[in-house]
Structure 1
Amino acid sequence: MMVAVCGPNEATPEEAELAEAVGEALARHGCTIICGGRDGVMAAACRGAKRAGGVTIGVLPGYDSRAANPWVDHVICTGMGEARNAIIVASADAVIAVGGGLGTLSEIALALKLGKRVVSLGSWALEEQRLARQAARHLYRHAASVDQAIKLALAGVSKASPT
C-alpha cells in the first residue's frame, strides 16, 4: 500500500516530529511513503520510514533529482511545480496531512475529489457542514495522535487496492 504524507516544506519542530513518527509507523505497517520529496514534513516522514526499513518515493516539482531529501529512495522529477501534487495523491491509496499550507490544502482537496481517504493530523480543519454536502464527507477524518492517524488511514483500504 502507498500512503502520501503531505505537509509544509518549512515544518515546525512539532510537525516534523509528528511526520517522522507517521513515516516510521507506516513503514512498520509495510506501507510505501510517497511525498513531495523535499524538506520539512516530507523529509521527516521519509527519515522515519527509512529508520523502520521502509521505502520512500519523492515526486519533485522540478527537474533536478539532487533537490530530493537524502531519505528518498526513488525520485520522480516532474518539472510540473505544484501540479506535481496531483501525481502524489493520485498514486496514493490514502493521504495523511501533517500541518500544512495551501499546497497541502490542494492535496487534501484533490485526494477527496479522487475518493481517497484523508486523515488530518494537525492540518486543515475543514468545515463539517460544508463537507457534509459533499460526497467525500466520509473520507476526511481528524486524528488526535499518530496511532489514530495510521489506523484511520489504513482502515478500509485494502493492501491490494489499485492506485
Structure 2
Amino acid sequence: MNHLVSVIGGNSASSEEGAFAFRLGLLLAEAGFTVVCGGGAGVMEAVSRGCDSAGGTVIGILPGEDAGSGNRFLSFTIPTGMGASRNRIIALSGQVVCAVGGSYGTLSEIAFSLQAGKPVCCFGSWKDLPGVVQVNTPEEAVEFVLRNTERNNANH
C-alpha cells in the first residue's frame, strides 16, 4: 500500500532546511511513500525535488487556480483556488505530517494535523508545541513516519 505523507514548511527555506527537505523527500520516495505538499517554493520545492530525484510521486495542493503555478518537480497538481484555506487539505491528506521550518502557515497546518489526531514530527521551528515530536535528521523523520504508519495499519 502506498501511503501519503504530508510535508509542510515555508515558501522560503534556509540552506539547512532545504537540504533536510531534499533528503527527506528522497528517503520517503525510496521507502515507497507519496509526498503531499503545498506545491510552492522553499521547503515544498526541496522536498519535491528530493522525491522526484528518487523516482517518487509528489502531489502539490496549490493555493491558486493555475495548475501550472506549482514547482517543476510535482508529479500531480491540484489547484484549489482556496488560498491559505488549502492548508487544512494538506494537513489532512497525509497519514503522518512532517514539518520543516516554516512560519504561521506551517503552524496552521500543524494545528489542523494535531486536531485531527495525526502524528506530527518537526525539524526547526514550532518543535516545542505539545504533541509535536522533534527530529534532528531526515532519517529520524522517516523512522517516525514508518513507526506511525505501521501503528495506523495495525488499527485498520
TM range (shorter): over 0.9
Seen in structure 2, the aligned counterparts of structure 1 residues 44 and 161 have a Cα distance that, compared at 3 Å, is farther
* Aligned-residue offset at 1:4: 0.8
Contact preservation (8 Å) 2:127, 2:133: no
- 1:134 alignment counterpart: none
TM-score (norm 2): 0.92
How many residues end up aligned between the 2 structures?
152
RMSD: 1.6
Give the percent of matched residue pairs that are identical in Structure 1 and Structure 2.
Answer: 41
Moved over 4 A (4+): 159-162
TM-score (norm 1): 0.88
1:91-110 to 2 correspondence within 5 Å?
91-110=93-112
User: Of residues 117, 124, 144 in structure 2, which corresponds to 1:152?
Assistant: 144
- 1:78 alignment counterpart: 80
Quick one: which amino acid aligns to residue 38 of structure 1?
G
**5+ residue gaps in structure 1?**
132-136
* Aligned-residue offset at 1:161: 8.2
* Aligned-residue offset at 1:49: 0.3
Contact preservation (8 Å) 1:7, 1:100: yes
* Aligned-residue offset at 1:146: 1.0
Once the two structures are superposed, what CA deviation does each residue of 1:14-68 show, in whole Å capped at 9, x if it has no partner? 1111100000000010000000001000000000001111000000000011110
User: Of residues 62, 65, 77 in structure 1, which corresponds to 2:64?
Assistant: 62
1:105-120 to 2 correspondence within 5 Å?
105-120=107-122
Contact preservation (8 Å) 1:20, 1:47: yes
